């Protein structure tokens, strides 16, 4: 009996490691292939290999020096939009989540349910409405309009995460501060925000990554080449009917990942704890 239990334990452990190994391969293989393709000669994907025979930096030089591709401008636009989205989204979500967590007002329950229901609909449904609204506000083809859309559409999901985390902070801390004469704004900025650093780091990452990964909204709302973000700008490399520069595209995609990797590594210690603690209460 004991031998059978040990045998089953070994089988389960072996299957677990095999599954993890497959997941690692599935995750790492595209990254290695992307790195290899960016150093291959030529422009085609079909002739590219993971380990190029004659590695070259020509594609990186072309991105940096070709006047047809304002790569630096696209990079700056993306970082600017991402940073503005992160700051604005963080402020909006923090204030909204704090209100739902600490105050009781008419419509609170229905407001939370509405935000939950909104998440069930795909974002494509509101694209036309967003386009019309930004056109009426004169914010089409502007980074401010794009930031407002990114920050606004992320409020429901991130508010739920933040509210769950705020609910875990004891109310006795705020009550003690109120007795000492602290105002609600003082409590929010000096007690709630510092204690919520892990989940705020998670929300910052979510907001910052959106402009780096979104193509459809940026392509819809931005029309000037000099205002493109990286996803839209790099797409022009492979959308030309007379030549698709796939290898230069892979070089650009690799460079695009650098800020996200740096941000993840710098906030890594907060990431797991912020996600798990924010999910403990609804």
Q: Is 176 helix (H, G, I), strand (E, B) or coil?
A: helix
Contact 54, 60 (CB under 8 A): no
Mean pLDDT for each 10-residue chunk of the chain (282 residues)? 78 91 90 86 74 84 84 92 94 92 88 83 81 91 93 88 88 87 88 87 88 89 91 86 80 89 82 56 44
Integer Cα distance of 204 and 186 in angstroms: 22
CA pseudo-torsion sign 173, 174, 178, 179: negative
Angle of helix 268-277 versus helix 197-213 axis, rounded to 10: 110
Query: Which pLDDT value is given to residue 272?
Result: 63
User: 62-274, superfamily in CATH?
Assistant: MetI-like (1.10.3720.10)
Query: Which pLDDT value is given to residue 119?
Result: 77
CA dihedral 159, 206, 274, 260 (to 10 degrees): -170
Query: Which pLDDT value is given to residue 275?
Result: 57
- The pTM assigned to this predicted structure is 0.83
% of residues, the chain, pLDDT over 70: 93
Query: Which pLDDT value is given to residue 79?
Result: 94
Q: Where are the domains of the chain?
A: 62-274
Q: How do residues 192-233 score in pLDDT, each as one tens digit?
A: 888 888 888 888 888 899 888 889 899 999 989 889 999 999
Contact 52, 40 (CB under 8 A): yes
Other C-beta atoms within 10 Å of 193: how many? 14
Query: Which pLDDT value is given to residue 90?
Result: 92
% of residues, the chain, pLDDT over 90: 23
Query: Which pLDDT value is given to residue 1?
Result: 64
User: For residue 88, what is the enclosing H or E element?
Assistant: helix 71-102
Query: Which pLDDT value is given to residue 282?
Result: 42
Query: Which pLDDT value is given to residue 7?
Result: 83
Task: List CB contacts of 156: < 8 A, sequence separation 6 or more.
Answer: 115, 116, 118, 119
């Amino acid at each position: 009996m004991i031998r059978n239990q040990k045998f089953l334990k070994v089988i389960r452990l072996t299957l677990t490691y095999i599954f993890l190994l497959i997941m690692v391969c599935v995750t790492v293989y595209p990254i290695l292939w992307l790195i290899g393709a960016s150093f291959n000669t030529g422009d085609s994907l079909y002739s590219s290999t993971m380990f190029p025979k004659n590695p070259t930096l020509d594609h990186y030089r072309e991105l940096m020096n070709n006047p047809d591709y304002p790569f630096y401008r696209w990079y700056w636009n993306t970082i600017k939009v991402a940073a503005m989205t992160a700051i604005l989204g963080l402020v909006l979500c923090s204030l909204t989540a704090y209100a739902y967590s600490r105050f009781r007002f008419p419509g609170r329950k229905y407001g939370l349910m509405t935000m939950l229901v909104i998440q069930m609909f795909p974002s494509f449904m509101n694209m036309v409405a967003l386009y019309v609204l930004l056109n009426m506000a004169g914010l089409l083809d502007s980074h401010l309009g794009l930031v407002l859309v990114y920050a606004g559409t992320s409020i429901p999901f991130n508010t739920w995460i933040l509210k769950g985390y705020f609910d875990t902070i004891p109310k006795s801390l705020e009550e003690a501060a109120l007795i000492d004469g602290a105002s609600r704004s003082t409590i929010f900025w000096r007690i709630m925000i510092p204690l919520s650093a892990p989940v705020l780091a998670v929300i910052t990452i979510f907001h910052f990554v959106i402009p780096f990964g979104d193509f459809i909204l940026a392509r819809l709302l931005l029309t000037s080449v000099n205002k493109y973000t990286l996803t839209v700008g790099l797409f022009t490399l492979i959308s030309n009917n007379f030549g698709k520069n796939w290898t230069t595209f892979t070089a650009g995609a690799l460079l695009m990942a650098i800020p996200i990797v740096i941000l993840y590594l710098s906030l890594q210690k907060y990431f797991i704890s912020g996600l798990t603690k924010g999910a403990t209460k609804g």
